[in-house]
Structure 1
Amino acid sequence: MPRQTRKRLAWLDALRGLAALTVVFEHALAPLLPEVRLPVKAVFDPGWFGVMAFFLVSGYIVPASLERRASLRAFWISRLLRLYPLFGVAAAAMALLALLGWDDPHIWWRTRPVPLVLGHLTMLQNLLGMPNLLNVLWTLSYEMAFYLLLTAMFTLGVNRRSITGTLGFTAAALLGAGTLPVTLLSAGGSGRMLTVALVMTTLMMAGLAAAIRGSGAVRHAGAILIGLTVLTLLAVNQSYPGPWRGLLILATMFAGTALYRAEQRELSWRQAGWVALVPLAGIWLARADAGTQTATVAAWLTFAAGLALRHQKMPRVLTWLGLVSYSVYLLHALLLESVEWFWPEPLAVPLNLRIAALACVVALLLGLSALTWRFVEAPAQRLAKRLVARTPPDRKIEIGQPDAAQGRGSSSKADQTS
């Protein structure tokens, strides 16, 4: 990546680094500092803060990378090689921990291995009513849903209607809270779960193939198929963290895109102000949970501060953490699973030893993340660039224009993918 490009995007890396650290802190509380876990989460949920910051960053930059290249092929090559290599390493490491007896996976991994493997291969396991192999993998299901919806919108030429997406998912979260079913399709036996996974995977793969390789009506039909499949899963088949939170996550990502468009002068800041309804809806929906409310507000304020300071020099430690944040996010769960196996009763361990263990975990995590970035993530991204350079252009697609209600502005291009 050109140095100037990295400098312009340093504020996004800094936000990722901060988000990764807060998620690590959240997950370290139970195995190492359980006495403070509930008091902390009662006033501020660090995990929710971290993932909401991550989703805002994804919403801000990922759609821009698709529009910059204007190629679904290039977009999916980049996305798959961004996510799957390290995903595979983390999954293999988790399987090794299970074989060693250091972790006890959900019983369905013994009784329903085929549907669970298929669900994880699509990264949509959380929308298919399946337990995650690693507890942190649930966020990747919403990332993948966002990518699929972007693909459908780009193909149909409505990809710039970010405010429409923001308000639509916000309204769905508000109206669906307490009424939308959970795992309606996948609930039942192993056979039913496998059938749903096979059907949904087939529909999405067929839709993607049509959108990428088809033309005219076939391409549009594929986009509609993708959109309907993903929206169905979001509406009736989510598991953790539940329907309204999942829908609000999609609203958050589309809000991040709207803020990007305002920053690039495709929208006015006044028009982009509609995104304020997203955190307001989150505060209302979490009215019985002060910790989630404060985390939501803090994530939005932190993102706003980063956006305001985007031209300033960012702390190098945070930008480096942002660079390796995906490794930090996936690998910390493995280390903490090991700690929990060694110390099943943390309150029986002296506090000073637990604090020392936390410091060791963080140091080891940063070292491992540096290694996986160098030997897994960076080579995969270099491969993606080579493959994209040899990728033939898509058939002509009319790139969508902003909503009439959003106004028109100068089109601009993102510098890189996230």
Structure 2
Amino acid sequence: MSSTTPRPPASRASAGAYRLGWLDALRGIAALVVVFDHSSYAFLAEFRQSLAPHFNAGRYGVMVFFLVSGYIIPASLERRGCVRDFWISRAFRVYPMWAVAVTSVVVLDLVGVAETRAEFGGQDAATAAVAHVTLLQELLGTPSLLRVLWTLSYEMAFYLLAVALFTVRLHRRSAAVAVTLAALAAVSATAGCVLPESALSTSVGTGPLVALGSVAMVVAVCCASTGSPALRVFGGLLGGSLALVLVPLNSTVRVWESLMILAVMFLGTAVYRADSGQSSRRAAAVTVAVVVACAVGSAYRYGAGASSTRLGWISAFLLAVLTFGAGRALRRRRMPYWLTGLGTISYSVYLVHPVLLAVIDGTIGRWRQNNVVLEVAFFAVLLPLCVLTQRCVEAPGRSLGRSVSRTLDRAWGRTPDRSSGRASGPASGPASEGAGGRKPVCRGQPP
């Protein structure tokens, strides 16, 4: 988008925010549940012990997040119609707050105020740092410094796959991708497929895998963002291949659950396709049914373990799908302001709360009995702090990302398609319109 791009009319902008309010509401709910799950270790140990066998609150929260990401991320990519702009947007959306959270916990740990629980098993600091910078650390054999960062590794894998499908123009096959991944998860669970934790790292060594994976990711992102059709396809396929290798073969969770996480995200995308008229609602309904059946069957067959039970995982998963469905059913209604506000700060909430919990571990420690007062006090401190970080870190970061995109547009070109006045890719909507009503064409579009 050029610097001269006019703002959409207020009524249209507010209508867009109105339509997406349900997604913010879901993010807010998911963030609260994840924080409750993690803080219950410190303040509600007795309650947590009785709840966990029946309902895995943490898995519920992250599954809702994954469904929302699956719905909105491909929409963002295709609205822009530009891989380069997509990666810039993601980088400036994710990294500023990530850097603040990671730096904070490292500094607080060094001064003896916080206690981190990650065990790096003799890995050198450089290897761990490089792995974390890629956001793929959980899939590269490096434990996350903040445990919540494991979900960002799967988010990054999903980004790579979404870009891969976009560059080869198969991005509308979301339902087929979701069904395939879910079926593979079910097969792996039925076959009792068991791989050691971080199997590839064990085979080739964490250091070499981190180096190879990091280089592959950088090359994939850079090539997919170029103006050359051949390089775009190469970069997209390289990134997608990296994700498809790391997720099933080097995950820290079971193979079936790793595949199911990706299936859940593509399930969200399949629902988006139906809502945007790119596929039928029947196809989306069939996809939901297949993914749910495969997930429940996989968890029942191979879901018991030290960190979860069949019932706890299955109930959390089903409730997450129902929550997403309820949000979608209410998408034309105005969501409560406090709930959409929680969605706005949800990323800060997700990253800041483990930093506070690390401080608690390093100071007052965890309570063996329930202490509701401290649980409420924790939220009372966390939420205002996250409002501050959202305004001072997240919002400026996103603004800087837009500035970088405009600068690169001017330097590398974003020329209008003079033959039709429209982008040749899937970008649409007022946000992608250029001056004079023409939609700009990014040189990082698929051929």
When normalised by structure 1's length, the TM-score is 0.90
- Counterpart of 1:380? 397
Q: Note if 1:186 corresponds to 2:207.
A: no
- Counterpart of 2:52? 41
Q: 1:338 to 1:109 in 2, by over 3 A?
A: farther
Contact 2:172 2:278 in 1 (8 A): no
Q: Note if 1:70 corresponds to 2:118.
A: no
Aligned length: 399
The separation in 2 between residues aligned to 1:233 and 1:17, in whole angstroms, is 30
Which residue type is aligned with residue 238 of structure 1? S
Q: Note if 1:167 corresponds to 2:179.
A: yes
- Per the TM alignment, residue 334 of structure 1 is displaced from its structure 2 partner at its CA by 1.3
- Counterpart of 1:284? 297
- Per the TM alignment, residue 213 of structure 1 is displaced from its structure 2 partner at its CA by 1.5
Q: 1:137 to 1:344 in 2, by over 3 A?
A: same
2:338 is aligned, of 308, 317, 333, to 317
- Per the TM alignment, residue 217 of structure 1 is displaced from its structure 2 partner at its CA by 2.9
Q: 1:106 to 1:159 in 2, by over 3 A?
A: same
- Counterpart of 1:86? 97
Q: Note if 1:124 corresponds to 2:140.
A: no
- Per the TM alignment, residue 412 of structure 1 is displaced from its structure 2 partner at its CA by 6.3
Q: 1:106 to 1:20 in 2, by over 3 A?
A: closer
Contact 2:23 2:327 in 1 (8 A): yes
The separation in 2 between residues aligned to 1:209 and 1:340, in whole angstroms, is 41
The separation in 1 between residues aligned to 2:389 and 2:366, in whole angstroms, is 31
- Counterpart of 1:26? 37
The separation in 2 between residues aligned to 1:111 and 1:295, in whole angstroms, is 34
Contact 2:138 2:144 in 1 (8 A): yes
Per-residue CA deviation, residues 159-203 of structure 1 (Å, 9 max, x unaligned), is: 111012101211221122331523122126xx9211111111112
Contact 1:264 1:412 in 2 (8 A): no
Equivalent residues in 2 for 1:263-342, closer than 5 Å? 263-276=275-288, 277-287=290-300, 288=304, 289-342=310-363
Which residue type is aligned with residue 302 of structure 1? T
- Counterpart of 1:243? 255
1:149 is aligned, of 140, 161, 167, to 161
- Counterpart of 1:140? 152
The separation in 2 between residues aligned to 1:265 and 1:372, in whole angstroms, is 37
Q: Note if 1:365 corresponds to 2:387.
A: no
SS in 2 for 1:346: coil
The separation in 2 between residues aligned to 1:159 and 1:386, in whole angstroms, is 28
The separation in 1 between residues aligned to 2:261 and 2:238, in whole angstroms, is 22
- Per the TM alignment, residue 55 of structure 1 is displaced from its structure 2 partner at its CA by 0.6
Which residue type is aligned with residue 335 of structure 1? L
1:344 is aligned, of 365, 382, 406, to 365
When normalised by structure 2's length, the TM-score is 0.84
Equivalent residues in 2 for 1:186-225, closer than 5 Å? 186-187=201-202, 192-213=205-226, 215-225=228-238
The separation in 2 between residues aligned to 1:345 and 1:127, in whole angstroms, is 30
Equivalent residues in 2 for 1:80-119, closer than 5 Å? 80-101=91-112, 102-108=114-120, 111-119=123-131
1:10 is aligned, of 13, 18, 21, to 21
Which residue type is aligned with residue 71 of structure 1? C
- Per the TM alignment, residue 20 of structure 1 is displaced from its structure 2 partner at its CA by 0.4
The separation in 1 between residues aligned to 2:220 and 2:233, in whole angstroms, is 9
The separation in 2 between residues aligned to 1:286 and 1:114, in whole angstroms, is 37
Query: Which has the larger displacement, 336-345 or 62-71?
Result: 336-345
The separation in 1 between residues aligned to 2:390 and 2:121, in whole angstroms, is 29
- Per the TM alignment, residue 361 of structure 1 is displaced from its structure 2 partner at its CA by 0.9
- Counterpart of 2:440? none
- Per the TM alignment, residue 309 of structure 1 is displaced from its structure 2 partner at its CA by 0.5
The separation in 2 between residues aligned to 1:302 and 1:5, in whole angstroms, is 22
- Per the TM alignment, residue 105 of structure 1 is displaced from its structure 2 partner at its CA by 4.4
Per-residue CA deviation, residues 41-98 of structure 1 (Å, 9 max, x unaligned), is: 1111111111000011011011011101110111011000000000000001110221
SS in 2 for 1:9: helix
The separation in 1 between residues aligned to 2:200 and 2:165, in whole angstroms, is 25
CA-atom RMSD in angstroms: 2.3
Q: 1:29 to 1:46 in 2, by over 3 A?
A: same
The separation in 1 between residues aligned to 2:90 and 2:201, in whole angstroms, is 27
Contact 1:176 1:243 in 2 (8 A): yes
The separation in 1 between residues aligned to 2:171 and 2:425, in whole angstroms, is 7
The separation in 1 between residues aligned to 2:188 and 2:430, in whole angstroms, is 34
Sequence identity (%)? 40
Structure 2, unpaired ranges of 5+: 1-6, 8-12, 305-309, 418-422, 433-447
- Per the TM alignment, residue 275 of structure 1 is displaced from its structure 2 partner at its CA by 2.1
- Counterpart of 2:437? none
The separation in 2 between residues aligned to 1:382 and 1:273, in whole angstroms, is 38
Structure 1, unpaired ranges of 5+: 401-410
SS in 1 for 2:145: coil
Per-residue CA deviation, residues 357-382 of structure 1 (Å, 9 max, x unaligned), is: 11111011001100000100011111
